[in-house]
Amino acid sequence: MENHNTEDSVFQEIPTEKIYTEKQIRLGTFFCGPLVAGYCLAENFKAFGDKEKAKKTWLITILSSFLVILLIFSIPENINIPNIIFPIIYTGIASFIIKKYQEKDIKKHLENGGETFGGWRTVLIGLISLAAFCLVIIGAYILLDLAL
């Protein structure tokens, strides 16, 4: 039985695509928002050969990002919600998605000698995501201000 496992590992291809780890996705999502989660998850799905899930991930990411923005603007000013609530919620959702759809693939990728993207790439994606999110929020604020 052991010989069979050794033989399988010798003939196992080393993945050529890089992926994002669970930790990178969770930290990037917590500090920089749901766009980071969507981007990293979609890139992982592509690396794992599941382009359909990558497309669905982008659709869900865009819809959930707009939902977060709508929630931010719809909460009355007299209701005091701690700022940490939103990052906890979307990081929790991202963690659930990773566990349900990618954990096994990530583990297999790493066990087979596959590489991961560096942490600085995740930071850059986070900064770009924050800038995009801020632009959308500023645009929404301006539009709402003009409408009133």
AA identity, residue 51: K
pLDDT higher than threshold 60 for residue 148: yes
Q: How far apart are CA 100 and CA 61, in angstroms?
A: 17
Give me the pLDDT at residue 145, please.
Answer: 82
Residue 116's Cβ-count burial label (10 Å; 0-12, 13-18, 19+) is middle
pLDDT tens per residue across span 14-38: 899 999 999 999 999 999 999 999 9
| Domain residue ranges in the chain | 18-147
Report the candidate in 87, 52, 54, 50 with the shortest Cα–Cα distance to residue 68: 87
Give me the pLDDT at residue 10, please.
Answer: 59
Q: pLDDT above 70 covers what percent of the chain?
A: 93
Contact 125, 39 (CB under 8 A): yes
Contact 128, 40 (CB under 8 A): no
Q: pLDDT above 90 covers what percent of the chain?
A: 66
Give me the pLDDT at residue 26, please.
Answer: 97
